[in-house]
Amino acid sequence: MELTLIVLGCVIIFLMLSPRPGPGGSEGSDSRWPAGGPGKQFHAAKVRRIIDGDTVIVTVSGRRIHLRLNSIDAPELDQEWGDIATYGLIKLIGGQWIYFEDQGVDNYGRTLATVFVKRRGGDEWINVNTRMVVLGHAWVQRIQNGDLSDEQRNELVRLERWARRKKVGMWRSPNPLPPWKWRQNRR
């Protein structure tokens, strides 16, 4: 148990001290205002709690909302890499102000969202959903991402392939189990 805590501590420190840019530079980030365009609705929110690698509780105008990062699926907390993916999301947005684009509601009543945060100490905006894939903390969700354009979906899939090839994050494991298969096996 003690060795497990030491290893986990080392992994967390490693993740905190070595941000990894994506292929070709700073993939998953955009120095402009969160990429939107006409008709996009962004909401400012304060992150209150990270539930796991793809779910957070935020406050918007005094109201608590559960956000589910749209189009990605991170390992569950009690699944291999689940705790590390959770800490990765804490590192990216824990306690910070974020902006999110509301993209509907899932079957559990959570708001589906693409989340953006400003890089600490800079003006660069980071697409958190994309960044979780680049860091090897999440899969591209194979279902329920019909709201993405083909271009957005292809980009996410390309970034997942890149992370797999480079063995970033969970892809260092010989055979990581996708969360949707893990949940099926749990039933």
Q: What is the pLDDT of residues 54-63, one digit of tens each?
A: 999 999 999 9
Q: What is the pLDDT of residue 15?
A: 44
Q: What is the mean pLDDT of the chain?
A: 82
- Domain assignment of residue 13, yes or no: no
Q: What is the mean pLDDT of residues 61-76?
A: 96
- Domain assignment of residue 25, yes or no: no
Higher local confidence (pLDDT), 147 or 137 = 137
Q: Which of 2-16, 22-36, 42-56, 68-82 has the lowest mean pLDDT?
A: 22-36
Q: What is the pLDDT of residue 40?
A: 63
Does 80 qualify as catalytic in the annotation?
Answer: no
Does 48 qualify as catalytic in the annotation?
Answer: no
- Domain assignment of residue 140, yes or no: yes
- Domain assignment of residue 163, yes or no: yes
- Domain assignment of residue 133, yes or no: yes
Task: Name the active-site residue from 27, 48, 49, 110.
Answer: 110
- Domain assignment of residue 34, yes or no: no
Query: Does the pLDDT at position 139 exceed 50?
Result: yes
Q: Into how many domains does the chain fold?
A: 1
Q: What is the mean pLDDT of residues 90-115?
A: 93
Q: What is the pLDDT of residue 22?
A: 37
d(CA 23, CA 21): 7
Q: Which of 15-24, 68-77, 87-96, 169-178 has the lowest mean pLDDT?
A: 15-24
Q: What is the pLDDT of residue 31?
A: 38
Higher local confidence (pLDDT), 101 or 186 = 101
Here the contacts of 48-54 (C-beta below 8 Å, separation 24 or greater) are 50/86, 50/89, 50/90, 50/93, 50/94, 51/86, 52/76, 52/77, 52/82, 52/85, 52/86, 52/89, 53/82, 53/85, 53/86, 53/88, 53/89, 53/132, 53/137, 53/138, 54/85, 54/89, 54/132, 54/138
- Domain assignment of residue 10, yes or no: no
Task: Name the active-site residue from 2, 49, 64, 76.
Answer: 76
- Domain assignment of residue 126, yes or no: yes
Does 49 qualify as catalytic in the annotation?
Answer: no
Task: Name the active-site residue from 27, 49, 63, 68.
Answer: 68
Query: Does the pLDDT at position 81 exceed 90?
Result: yes
Domain range for 55 is 41-186
Q: Give the list of residues 6+ apart from residue 75 with CB closer than 8 angstroms, or none.
A: 53, 81, 82, 85, 137, 138, 170, 176, 179, 182
Instruction: Look up the CATH number of the domain holding residue 154.
Output: 2.40.50.90
Q: What is the pLDDT of residues 144-183, one digit of tens each?
A: 655 777 888 889 999 999 999 999 999 999 999 999 899 8
Q: What is the pLDDT of residue 83?
A: 97
